[in-house]
Chain A
Amino acid sequence: GAVVSQHPSRVICKSGTSVKIECRSLDFQATTMFWYRQFPKKSLMLMATSNEGSKATYEQGVEKDKFLINHASLTLSTLTVTSAHPEDSSFYICSARRGQQIFPSTDTQYFGPGTRLTVL
């Protein structure tokens, strides 16, 4: 299968602190990873696309200085929420693209289990 892990699964922090969330593809290499945010009873909102070895591409309205993304290797991407505030409290989910060179039609994303961030 295609397994993606996230760490931590849950974090509670004080306002003003920074929080780092890790996303790892465990059994495949992911040149592209995605970071989503999900509010209660809402669908996934794409925040940014992370490409290994290059700068992330942020969606409109997402502050890149607030949400720092580093995709340092083919199996690891990190999201750092800097100077977190209560409004940053949310469920953050990453996904990793598993591309198929021979069969591009099976190119799809596999999701991590999510990280619940609570900022006090």
Chain B
Amino acid sequence: QKEVEQDPGPLSVPEGAIVSLNCTYSNSAFQYFMWYRQYSRKGPELLMYTYSSGNKEDGRFTAQVDKSSKYISLFIRDSQPSDSATYLCAIRRGGAGSYQLTFGKGTKLSVIP
């Protein structure tokens, strides 16, 4: 079983829809959870960073973590064509010196005008 599983999509939604992106992980040692957005031929851009179960909101984006189920989600409200990109979940172990990130495969999202 891979450490992080993410459905690669592609996912296509109409403009204004609510988008739900998800990842599951297998190791409870993972304590920190991130979502990155990557446009084609660009480096990933950090969107959200969470480290506790529950929701964290930033504008149209909400990151949700359920440590008991080892499940993380990113919700995008009122999706826009500019949200079309690949979204990568990334997780990190807890403890000092644990700096490496483990990435999901990424979900390619297209928001259709």
**A residues bordering B, Cβ < 8 Å?**
4, 6, 32, 34, 41-44, 46, 49, 91, 93, 95, 97, 99, 104-114, 116
**B49–A106 touching, CB < 8 Å:** yes
B residues 5-61 touching A (CB-CB < 8 Å): 8, 32, 34, 36, 41-46, 49, 51
* Residues from chain A with Cβ under 8 Å of B49 in the complex: 106, 108
Interface size on B, residues (CB 8 A): 23
**B42–A49 touching, CB < 8 Å:** no
Partner of B103, one of A41, A44, A108, A116: A44
Partner of B44, one of A6, A41, A93: A93
**A104–B43 touching, CB < 8 Å:** no
CA A61 – CA B107 in complex, angstroms? 26
**B residues bordering A, Cβ < 8 Å?**
8, 32, 34, 36, 41-46, 49, 51, 88, 92, 96, 99-101, 103-106, 108
The 3 closest A-B pairs by CB, nearest first: A111-B43, A113-B43, A114-B43
Partner of A110, one of B46, B100, B106: B46
Most buried by B among A44, A104, A116: A44
**A114–B41 touching, CB < 8 Å:** yes
Closest to B105 in A: A43
**A93–B43 touching, CB < 8 Å:** yes
Closest to B49 in A: A108
**A91–B99 touching, CB < 8 Å:** no
* Residues from chain B with Cβ under 8 Å of A91 in the complex: 41
* Residues from chain B with Cβ under 8 Å of A49 in the complex: 99-100
Most buried by B among A32, A34, A97, A113: A113
**B44–A105 touching, CB < 8 Å:** no
Partner of B100, one of A34, A43, A105: A34
